[in-house]
Amino acid sequence: MDKIAGRKRDALSTVADALYLLVILITAGFFTISCVVLLSQAVRTSPDRSWESNFNALIIGASYAIVLLVSLAFCLNRKIAVRRRLQRISKSHRAIGQGDVPKTVHQYISQEYARACLVSYQALPSVAIHEGWGRPGTKYSGLRFRRALLDTISDIDALAHLIIPSHPVLRPHSRMLHHFRFILPLLPQDEDGISLLHYYDSAIQLARNSTKEPTEMEFQIAMESAAGIKSMQVHLMLHFISRLIGVECRLYECRLEMLEGSSTQLNRTPSPKTERLFYEY
């Protein structure tokens, strides 16, 4: 529609320019013809039938020359005035205040702007559904399901490497069940014996290989599964950290006890036999 409207505007502009040029040519033609006819009439009506000492021809030629110069002066003056007016217009965008234009013009601009904003707001899609994209007005608005699902793989893989440093490197087309097989026993299962990783693997396979875009329900189930896997990984990390802190605390307590025991043995009073042997030596 925009291309068709642009072509129509270009065609109308071309036609207008052609008509304007045609009017200029017709006016110049009539101007020249009338000048030639009047000059020839002045020559024919003169006593000598020549250009010499022909006052009428001089008056006619001078009149046409003055008209031509005045016309050119008006056109030049108009062009200069338009150019100066255009130069006064600010090249940068700025808001038009009430002091810039008359009050009626400002009110008209404000009304048209408000009308344009209202039309734009009403024209926003509210019930439009595009396959593989979130619906407008929902929490998934403007979100592409396929890309969002594939982006969760790297996050889960990074958390898996934090828990298991020797976890295998992610390959482009590896199945999620095979790649995350070491954390599969740690995941809870439902009554059918299916874990969150099974649901997540099915969704990733559909996002990778299916020609059909994922639906909102499939995307929601996959994201819930991914969130459950991430929360389990974070819980394991916190559990390992707490166990590590507990072990370090126990080691520190044992060290303190050993130091206290050593200082007690050093401060103990020696027996008489030990003192006698010390003096004899």
Question: Which pLDDT score, from 0 to 100, does residue 248 have?
Answer: 60
Query: Which has the closest alpha carbon to 153: 176, 132, 133, 169?
Result: 176
pLDDT interval class at 69 (50, 70, 90): very high
Q: Which two tokens stand for residue 197?
A: 């990783």
Question: Which pLDDT score, from 0 to 100, does residue 273 have?
Answer: 46
Which residues are 133's β-sheet partners? 144
Q: What is the pTM of this model?
A: 0.43
Distance CA 138, CA 80 (A): 57
Which residues are 189's β-sheet partners? 195
Convert the pLDDT of each residue in 95-130 to its tens digit.
666 677 788 888 888 899 899 999 988 877 666 677
Query: Which has the closest alpha carbon to 150: 109, 93, 208?
Result: 208
The answer, yes or no, to whether residue 257 has pLDDT greater than 50, is yes
Convert the pLDDT of each residue in 175-208 to its tens digit.
888 888 887 777 777 777 788 888 888 888 888 8
Of 272 and 177, the one with more pLDDT? 177
Percent of the chain with pLDDT over 90: 6
Mean pLDDT, the chain, rounded, equals 79
The answer, yes or no, to whether residue 60 has pLDDT greater than 90, is no
H or E element in which residue 220 lies: helix 216-267
Q: Report the number of secondary-structure helices (H) and strands (E) in the chain.
A: 8, 0
